[in-house]
Amino acid sequence: FTEMLSNPKLALVQGTLNMVIKQNVTLSCLSEPGSPPVRYTLFKHNQQVSTLNRSDLTPALFTLTISSASDAGEYKCKAEYNNSSGGKYSNSLNFTFIEPVSKPVLTSPTCQAKKGQNVTLSCFSENGSLPITYLFFRGTQNISPQKTMQKREAAVIFLFINSLSDFGTYKCKARNSFPNNTKYSNGFNFTLAEERSHSQPLIISLGLILLLLIIGFALAIPFFVIPLYKASE
């Protein structure tokens, strides 16, 4: 008597559904009830991955080594008897691939600032699975709430330069769901812009007027001064 196979159950034994490079994942597939021997086949997107035969009621264990993002996706297993057609399929497990964030780059449209000026800072990681969370610092002090970006775009904050202490070193950090992987940016410093004196434009204007007077006087000598000198002789 051969007992009819039930739909097998596919379960995660080792690893997580969030896959990372060089991670080992173990899946178990078991049909209960069922009469051994049973052949179990693991599929990814309907493509056969591996086949195991079980002569008892122990589950088939499939171990996968994650080598690239292509290993993510939907997995199912199939249970069948060797001497019969058809078979039963399990539930599916969906794996997603997590890429660690790259070192973020901290930039600003301006490198110079002065007291009383508004400035912006942008932090961006070119690579890494979304969402990515950014946090900004001046020195070791957090200067803004964390910003979680759902799209591949920079996190931006606005700052008001109020005192000389605001000219410290700024940094940002980026992280995502990849475990134990937080990356810090380069340091960024604003330089103090030289403030022009209010009297400087006036001095320049007076200098130009004086120069024009001297040039005008030099041009007038041939027409007025020399004729007057000859007339007096």
pLDDT tens, position by position, 95-138: 998 999 999 999 999 999 888 899 999 999 999 999 999 999 99
From CA 79, how far away is CA 59, in angstroms rounded?
11
Whether the CA torsion 159, 161, 165, 167 is positive or negative: it is: positive
From CA 89, how far away is CA 58, in angstroms rounded?
17
**Cβ(135)–Cβ(144) under 8 Å?**
yes
| Domains of the chain from N-terminus onward | 9-97 (2.60.40.10), 105-192 (2.60.40.10)
**Cβ(87)–Cβ(61) under 8 Å?**
no
**What b/e readout covers 79-89, taking b as 16+ CB neighbours within 10 angstroms?**
bbbeeeeebee
Residue 200 or residue 126, greater confidence: 126
From CA 46, how far away is CA 68, in angstroms rounded?
19
Question: What phi and psi values does residue 123 have, to the nearest 5 degrees?
Answer: -125, 130
From CA 60, how far away is CA 153, in angstroms rounded?
44
CA–CA distances in Å: residue 47 to residues 21, 29, 30, 68, 95:
21, 17, 19, 17, 15
Residue 202: predicted pLDDT: 67
pLDDT over 70 (residue 91) = yes
166: helix, coil or strand? Answer: helix
Residue 106 or residue 233, greater confidence: 106
Global pTM value: 0.62
pLDDT over 80 (residue 83) = no
**Low-confidence winner among 6-10, 23-27, 125-129, 165-169 (lowest mean pLDDT):** 165-169
Residue 180: predicted pLDDT: 87
R_g of the chain, CA atoms, integer Å: 38
User: How does residue 44 score in pLDDT terms, banded at 50, 70 and 90?
Assistant: very high
From CA 160, how far away is CA 94, in angstroms rounded?
47
pLDDT over 90 (residue 168) = no
**What b/e readout covers 102-129, taking b as 16+ CB neighbours within 10 angstroms?**
eebbbebeeeebeeeeebebbbbbeebb
188: helix, coil or strand? Answer: strand
Residue 227: predicted pLDDT: 62
From CA 28, how far away is CA 65, in angstroms rounded?
15
